[in-house]
Amino acid sequence: MSISIQEISSEKILALFLGNKLLMGVIDIYNTVSLSLIKPNTNIRQFGNSQRPIYSIEGNPRRFRTMASSTIPVDQVSKGKQQLTGDSFIRPHLRKLSPYQPILPFEVLSTKLGRKPEDIIKLDANENPYGPPPEVLEALGSLKFPYIYPDPESRQLRAALAEDSGLESKYILVGCGCDELIDLIMRCVLDPGDKIVDCPPTFTMYEFDAGVNAAEVIKVPRNSDFSLNVELIADVVEQEKPKCIFLTSPNNPDGSIISDEVLLKILDLPILVVLDEAYIEFSGIESKMKWVKKYDNLIVLRTFSKRAGLAGIRVGYGAFPLSIIEYLWRAKQPYNVSVAAEVAACSALQNATYLEEVKEALVKERDRLFKLLNEVPFLKPYPSYSNFILCEVTSGMDAKKLKDDLAQMGVMVRHYNKKELKGYIRVTAGKPEQTDILMECLKRLY
């Protein structure tokens, strides 16, 4: 196999030719430690009539395969001699990306545990076990135009959200879950290499999406009580000039909230603040959605997954300053919110009484769960403003084993692989009967 390498402008940029066909635009030779260029020798066959100097490439062929980014697969040019693997087409930063660790789907979990889904007490993903108001299922069962593309502007839903939030619909954009909006914001704001501030422990999707968008993540860990380290955030903003910061209130996984005083201090910095309020309904605190009219560097995200029991339908929404929202409109997928999602979310908002009752039931259950967990000798629960409780696992008990033991009994709680949370579990507040089963199972362990 012979390949010619043409130096274009610097030692960092090379054009690689196979015969007279361009195989790759640029490679970074600082990353090509296992490649070496060999002077032309008589054993090298030249493809075509190119007059370019011919070099061979010596070194680890696998490494070559994973680095080259080709416009045409080599095997189309020279059958059977050199094959590019599919991953050679993938953008280099994505080849290094660790996959997101989602929780197991219900059916998969059911098979794994050998239990029917309805016999599993699922307290691991902060889902709302009451589900949506009954009207939602009726509306989904009688969709009029499922064969027509949805409204790209989700007009009905945005009008309903305007009424629900008191913020005009021109500030509101809807997405396929809050998750889609996190990614959309990053796609609009970040160039590869730009920086974001993340304050762990927190929702891991910010770090994940930053990786997808080739951004650098600057971590400013929370204090031991999970409050934000505002001084360090200010220093990092000054020194590193990150483009945006992701804040979560209430924070997942501990359920703490951000005070207005702290939020105002951070809004005062030259940085875009994305405030994730996925769990705000359980906090008793008013959403900051309306603040986007005043602060041009604030975005507020919310979701139907928790408050309306629609996690499986995927509807999230955000409030944006007008100077930002127009670019999200341009960049978003036109049909990101399905007909089913819009209909479901609109029906849910029509039954405000149901939403309120379910929220109150979950808040009440969270407070009861806290008291009960506090009585368990090997758990130290943290007070929470959300629909979940983080517990430190103490007394020499292993948190991962505790999670596994509970799973064997059909009770799912969340455990984290991350270093800072290895000794913790997070328990979602469910229905009272689910709390009772959890407590019985915990009792069997002591």
Q: Which positions lie near ligand PLP, rule CB under 6 A?
A: 126, 177-179, 203, 248, 252, 276, 278, 303, 305, 311, 316
In angstroms, what is the minimal distance from the CB of 413 to ligand PLP?
15
Instruction: Give the shortest CB-201-to-ligand PLP separation in angstroms.
Output: 11
Given the complex with ligand PLP, which of 18 and 199 has the nearer CB atom? 199
Kindly tell me which of 316 and 381 has the beta carbon lying closer to ligand PLP: 316
The nearer residue to ligand PLP, 318 or 381, going by C-beta atoms, is 318
Query: Least CB distance from residue 93 to ligand PLP, whole Å?
Result: 23
For ligand PLP, which is the closer residue by CB, 315 or 441?
Answer: 315
The residue among 35 and 245 lying less far from ligand PLP, judged by its C-beta, is 245
Write the burial class of residue 284 (CB in 10 Å: 0-12 exposed, 13-18 middle, 19+ buried). exposed
Closest distance of CB 276 from ligand PLP, Å: 5
Q: In what order do the strands lie in the sheet with 121-123?
A: 121-123, 411-415, 424-428, 388-393, 379-381
Q: To the nearest whole angstrom, how small is the minimum distance from the Cβ of residue 393 to ligand PLP? A: 21
Q: Smallest distance from the beta carbon of 178 to ligand PLP, in angstroms?
A: 3
Which among 96, 136, 139 is positioned nearest to 309, based on CA atoms? 136
CB of 335 to ligand PLP, least distance (A): 17
Residue nearest to ligand PLP (CB): 177
Contacts of residue 394, Cβ cutoff 8 Å, sequence gap at least 6: 378, 379, 380
Q: Which is nearer to ligand PLP, 178 or 257 (CB)?
A: 178
Closest CA to 27 of 56, 65, 55, 1: 65
Contact 115, 107 (CB under 8 A): no
Nearer to ligand PLP, 5 or 173 (CB): 173
Residues with Cβ < 8 Å from 154, sequence gap 6 or more?
174, 337, 342
- CA-closest candidate to residue 87, choices 78, 96, 75, 77: 96
Nearer to ligand PLP, 252 or 338 (CB): 252
- Residue 301 CB, shortest distance to ligand PLP, in Å, is 7
- Identity of the residue, 19 or 309, whose beta carbon is nearer to ligand PLP in the bound complex: 309
Q: Which two tokens stand for residue 301?
A: 């995200």
Q: How far is the CB of 144 from ligand PLP (least distance, A)?
A: 25
Min dist. Cβ of residue 127 to ligand PLP (A): 9
Q: Decide whether 282 or 370 has the Cβ nearer to ligand PLP.
A: 282
